[in-house]
Amino acid sequence: MRYTETKERSAEILRLTLPLMAQHRAAYHPQTYTIWYEHVSGINPRLSSELEQRLARKESLSDDDVWRLHANFVIARDAEVLERMHQRLQNLLSDTATAASSAGVEASQFNQTLKLHKSQLTQPLAIDLITNIVAELITDTERMRTVTHELSEQLERSTQEARQLAEQLKQAEHQAKLDPLTGMLNRRGLEQRLKSFLEDAGSLQGGVMLLADIDHFKALNDTYGHLLGDKVIRSVAQLICDSIKGRDMAARIGGEEFAIFLPDTTLEGATVLAKRICAATASRSIRRIGTDQPVDRVTISIGVAASTQNDSLETLLDRADKAMYAGKKAGRNRVTQYEATADTAP
């Protein structure tokens, strides 16, 4: 969901949230802040009810507890919002169809009435019959005017609601394509971007896929904690995003795994870029949160695979993945071309 609190209000929520987070074992990662932010701001009643029960039992939340709460009450809530929007759209279409159908029946009856009166008027009639016909015409015309006015109002309401739904769905769709930790595309977002690319270009041929994986990430996470692990992921993501341009695409497709698709790029040119990213990562100093102490050097391994005429995202990623794991086996912190005879160190 999109948060709407002002800067002043969000600052007050931050002030109230930090002491609550400090009472528990869970690390200060984004998921932890999210659940306490939504609790303090009062925007997630179901989550607040669950948290209040745990607080009453004096339970200390672990990282696993936080992940479960985030999945059950934040991610699931957003999925329910999409389902409700889908239901609203169905109701909107149903109401509009009913109004249009009603107006259609009235219009058909009005048309039949006009034809009848026209037929009656083709022959001489007494003044009282003509008066009755005129009275019926006035009544039917007024009823038709009312029906068309109501239909017009219904269509106007439907148009406004449809516009609101379209905007909400657009925002939801956009957010669903992004990785919340890094702001990069996620796998779904990459798939959609490549689908659009394929529609325009006809194939992935002429491009190159890079698959990067942070070396020894689990050990780093276990040693320094999830919060520092998230910081490392964001740092590598930022470096990758700063290294690409134009139609290049970058996505976080797994926990510590990143994919970069470079259209209209030679294998040699992509390898040069991969080496630059690899070297820049190794030379970057990442410090522990709250201290000036640097962590062990962070490195990445990158697999490079050129695309072919018949490649899909899956087949191209698979080759880049094989090249990347070949580099892992050869010692990590290196760039490896698919089917290359030798690994190339950065």
Pick the more confident residue, 104 or 242. Answer: 242
Q: What is the pLDDT of residues 281-307, one digit of tens each?
A: 999 988 876 677 778 789 999 999 999
Domains and CATH numbers, the chain: 81-176 (1.10.287), 187-337 (3.30.70.270)
pLDDT of residue 106: 63
Amino acid symbol at 120: Q
pLDDT band at 56 (very low <50, low <70, confident <90, very high): confident
Number of C-beta neighbours around residue 167 at 10 A: 10
Residue 118 predicted with pLDDT over 80: no
Q: Which of residues 97 and 205 earns the better pLDDT score?
A: 205
Tokens representing 230 are 């998230």
In angstroms, the CA 169 to CA 166 distance is 5
For 331, the 3-state DSSP assignment is: coil
> Is 65's pLDDT higher than 90?
no
Cα–Cα distances in Å, from 186 out to 178, 230, 249, 280, 340?
5, 15, 11, 23, 29
CA dist 181 and 228 (Å) reads: 13
Q: Tell me: pLDDT of 343 over 60.
A: no
Q: Which of 256, 257, 268, 339 is catalytic?
A: 256
> pLDDT at residue 342 above 60?
no
Which helix (H) or strand (E) element contains residue 3?
A: none
Per cent of the chain over pLDDT 70 is 68
One DSSP character per residue, 221-281 reads: HHHH-HHHHHHHHHHHHHHHHHH--TT-EEEE-SSSEEEEEETT--HHHHHHHHHHHHHHH
B/e letters for 236-256, b = 16+ CB within 10 Å, e = fewer, are: bbebbbebbeeebbbbbbeeb
Alpha-carbon span 234 to 238, nearest angstrom:
6
Average pLDDT over residues 103-122: 64
Q: Is 167 a known active-site residue?
A: no
Do the Cβ atoms of 262 and 247 come closer than 8 Å?
A: no
Q: How many CA atoms lie within 13 A of 65 on its CB side?
A: 15
**pLDDT tens per residue, range 173-209:** 556 688 878 888 988 889 989 999 988 888 888 999 9
